[in-house]
Amino acid sequence: MSGSLRVHISREHRKDYIMKVVVIGGTGLIGSKLVGKLNEHGHEAVVAAPSTGVNTLTGEGLAEVMKDASVVVDVSNSPSFEDEAVMTFFRTSTTNVLNAEAEAGVQHHVALSVVGTERLQESGYFRAKQAQEELIKASGIPYSIVHATQFFEFMKGIADSATEGDTVHLAPVKIQPVYSDDVAAAVGRTAVGTPVNGVVEVAGPDAFQLDELIRDGLAAKGDPRTVVSDPHARYFGAELKETTLLPGPDAHLAETRFADWAAQQK
């Protein structure tokens, strides 16, 4: 299923299933991939971002872009991870988007969130993501929330966030990262499907030990930083348990392996 929406409709009836899908954050890593996949499969994917005249914090452009939309997908992210700023972003943006959807009669709200959000509430960022999810659930609009594990592309960011001087402090816990392209495909399948009014999870096919994965990755790139295994090391402000970052048993496992992706980055 990797990289494909594979909607189960016959080619000759595809025109009957064309949807207008508004993608909030459609210029970002996941959003740009999602827009491409939806358009490839015959849907009308509309990018909603400040560069296209849509500002979810002020509400500018939301009413116009929502007109005749069947689905709205929110894959936007806060420009700041500072506790108060990120909470303000997700609460304000999500409220404005949901209100505009209600006015326009949108029938499916899809949001991208993170596996383990509910277990990472020591972190201001994940408290804000939890607040976003609660607003969606309380809105009355049919919804689907996609929980993804951390993307392959974010491994350097994880290392940078845990760096003090020349040392990276990471907990020896499990992580099951996923390729961003596979996440975009999963979000696309969800968007053109029936609302689940719940959470679906997507993860990569393999689990690793976080500190070892980052250590190997830095070494492969000639990065001189030393990775220290520290059970109490914070992950974006939250202390981790062995399985905090892992998906549940019903998660959709993508096909792309980390080793194959990493080999292509060289």
- The mean pLDDT value of the chain amounts to 93
CATH 3.40.50.720 fits 11-264, yes or no: yes
> Is pLDDT of 10 > 80?
no
Whole-number Å distance between alpha carbons of 62 and 56:
7
Whole-number Å distance between alpha carbons of 134 and 107:
18
* Average pLDDT of the residues in 127-140: 98
Rg (CA), the chain: 19
- Tell me what pLDDT residue 185 has: 97
The set of long-range contacts for 23-26, using a CB threshold of 8 Å and a minimum separation of 24, is 23/47, 23/48, 23/73, 23/75, 24/48, 24/49, 24/54, 24/56, 24/72, 24/73, 24/74, 24/75, 24/76, 24/93, 24/97, 25/49, 25/74, 25/75, 25/76, 25/77, 26/52, 26/75
- Tell me what pLDDT residue 18 has: 84
pLDDT tier at 8 (50, 70, 90 boundaries)?
very low
Place of tokens 């740009």: 32
pTM: 0.92
- Number of neighbours of residue 99 by Cβ within 10 angstroms: 14
- Tell me what pLDDT residue 156 has: 92
> Is pLDDT of 250 > 90?
yes
> Is pLDDT of 15 > 60?
no
Domain ranges of the chain: 11-264
* Average pLDDT of the residues in 38-47: 95
Taking the alpha carbons at both ends of the chain, their separation in whole angstroms is 26
pLDDT tier at 218 (50, 70, 90 boundaries)?
very high
Whole-number Å distance between alpha carbons of 112 and 34:
12
- Cα distances (angstroms) measured from residue 134 to each of 23, 94, 139, 186, 203: 20, 10, 9, 22, 22
Crossing angle between the packed helical segments 124-138 and 83-104, to the nearest 10 degrees: 20
> Is pLDDT of 38 > 90?
yes
> Is pLDDT of 237 > 90?
yes
